Amino acid sequence: MDLTTESYWRKLINQGLIRFFVLKVLYKDKESYGYRLVKRVEQLSEGTCRPTESTIYPALDQLYREKYVVVTEVAVGSRVRKVYTLTDKGKSAYRAAAKSYGEIIPLLREAIML
């Protein structure tokens, strides 16, 4: 761990932001699947957050295990696609996260300017 590198801080920030933006996409779009979530997170974060399979699926699995999302399997041609939808608990989590980020971002801006 090297606290003096930007890459350390970006990775740390990215881990929290991925979950936030996944919740946001599902809150806004109502449902989505892995690849589409990756693209929407990149879009909504203006490229700041770039989840990969090794980051998005563990986050989705955790959200599923803790009942923030439900998963529906949908046949697409010869493949089965997992479609994720927020539960009421997931919607509450998104609102709590949005409120928290809304409160902390102005403080971070102020701290950065000092």
Q: Which two tokens stand for residue 105?
A: 């971002």
Of the pLDDT bands very low, low, confident and very high (cuts 50, 70, 90), residue 13 is confident
- Give the residue numbers spanning the domain of 15: 6-113
- Please report whether residue 12 resides in a domain: yes
User: Which CATH number fits the domain that encloses residue 88?
Assistant: 1.10.10.10
* Mean pLDDT, residues 2-28 taken together: 90
Three-state secondary structure readout of 19-79: HHHHHHHHHHHCCEEHHHHHHHHHHHCCCCCCCCHHHHHHHHHHHHHCCCEEEEEEEECCE
- pLDDT tens-digit series, residues 38-51: 999 999 989 888 88
Other Cβ atoms within 10 Å of 82 Cβ, number: 15
Question: In the prediction, which pLDDT does 96 show?
Answer: 97
Q: For residue 114, is pLDDT > 70?
A: no
Question: In the prediction, which pLDDT does 102 show?
Answer: 92
pTM: predicted TM-score of the whole model, two decimal places: 0.86
- Please report whether residue 1 resides in a domain: no
Domain count, the chain: 1
Mean of the per-residue pLDDT values of the chain = 92
- pLDDT tens-digit series, residues 66-102: 999 999 999 999 999 999 999 999 999 999 999 999 9
* Mean pLDDT, residues 24-33 taken together: 96
- Please report whether residue 74 resides in a domain: yes
- Where is pLDDT greater, at 23 or 15? 23
